[in-house]
Amino acid sequence: MNTKAIGNITICIGARSLLRPQSRLRIPVLSQQQTARAAPTAGFRRGQLIAQPQRYQFHTTAATGTTMSTTGAPSRVPISPQAVDAPLTRSATFLILTISRSSPDAIKTVRSTLASVGDLAKNVSVRDLDARFACTVGIGAGVWDAVTAGRQARPAELRPFREVRGARHVAPSTPGDLLFHIRAERRDLCFEFERQLLGLLGDSVDVVDETVGFRYFDLRDLLGFVDGTANPVGPDVPESVLVTQEDDAAAAGGSYVVVQKYVHDLGGWKALRTDGQEAVIGRTKFDNVELDDCAAESQKSHKQLTTIEDEQGEHDILRDNMPFGSPGAGEYGTYFIGYSRRLWVIEKMLERMFVGDPPGLHDRLLDYSTPLTGCVFFAPTGSQLASLDPDDD
């Protein structure tokens, strides 16, 4: 273990620890036949492609918490409504809406539309079941009581996004009543679902933000690093993502969702040497090997600051981040979306990133990545969504 000066930053650098696994996920090397079928990506080296973790084996339905296989033969049924762990896809739309205060029928229209989202998703997904279309809906704290008509208790931890203000960087809290996390292997399916959805909602809502994300090579962000390595997979997902009966009976089966839209200073980032970038992230850039943690009072990496542990062990969240951008507009970014059984876990991550641990030693990734938005939602179960139909009142 030693330290290295990078500009005016001194960061602890270490080799891979022999006392902890490289990752909670296995990163297999594809066979020669698999490599031949794979599309060229930044992961090639000496004729082999290092396969990055993907969630194609399982998805967890928020409605029941059951785990279902999504690999193998072509799909025969659509992905279940509110499947928070739907498979990673090549395209996604992150749609944030506010409910109009000027339309007298806005709440009724929203309730009716949310109740029919499952049917709408099915109508779009059946056009190509292998495209793994899915949509997860989140409802914000400010409209929960109105949208549920008081028939569903507010989830215990549901509250607006809390601004986090550090000495140099701020995580802002921005408006957002409804979240639609739309994803598929095909961009046209995401487009078609959003078109039909907004047609149903009409003037009952206003679009606050619409971000289109895409898969970048072998699950890398635009900074060049693999994103989402620490995600739980398979049977471990429900433990990290879904609220249990013991946690909050009224919210059981659902999940807290936090979203932030980050834009990157790629020029400044690229000015760092590769080892400097690796020290900031906490992993090697090419082969995604985890670096040693630094001492408690030292400058910590992004990986270390976003690892939350207590007497119960490590608390995972499920990230489904995606790059977005427009080279013509000079915009490059990452859309962060995190699903968690416990909202406080993500809030603690953000506190450690922006304030620092210890305070003053903030996440150096924030020197190159600026959050523009910040919202909290709760994704209820599919059956809870379906029960919102005002005609059933």
Q: Which of 177, 221, 227, 316 is catalytic?
A: 227
Q: Are 337 and 241 in contact (CB under 8 A)?
A: no
- State how far the Cα of 130 lies from the Cα of 117, in Å rounded to an integer: 20
The question of whether 227 is a catalytic residue gets the answer yes
The beta-strand segments (E) located in 201-240 are 205-214
Which of 208, 201, 101 minimizes the C-alpha distance to 146? Answer: 101
User: Can you name the residues that pair with 184 across neighbouring β-strands?
Assistant: 91
User: Can you name the residues that pair with 40 across neighbouring β-strands?
Assistant: none
Q: Are 115 and 356 in contact (CB under 8 A)?
A: no
Which residue shows structure tokens 């785990």?
67
Q: Are 382 and 118 in contact (CB under 8 A)?
A: yes
Count other C-beta atoms under 10 Å from residue 297's C-beta. Answer: 9
Which of 371, 367, 369, 370 minimizes the C-alpha distance to 9? Answer: 367
Helical segments of the chain, H only? 32-37, 106-115, 117-125, 144-147, 187-201, 236-241, 266-271, 274-281, 302-305, 343-354, 382-386
- State how far the Cα of 120 lies from the Cα of 31, in Å rounded to an integer: 40
Count the helices and strands in the chain (H runs, E runs): 11, 20
Within 8 A by CB and 6+ apart from 38, the residues are 30, 49
Catalytic residue numbers, as ranges: 227
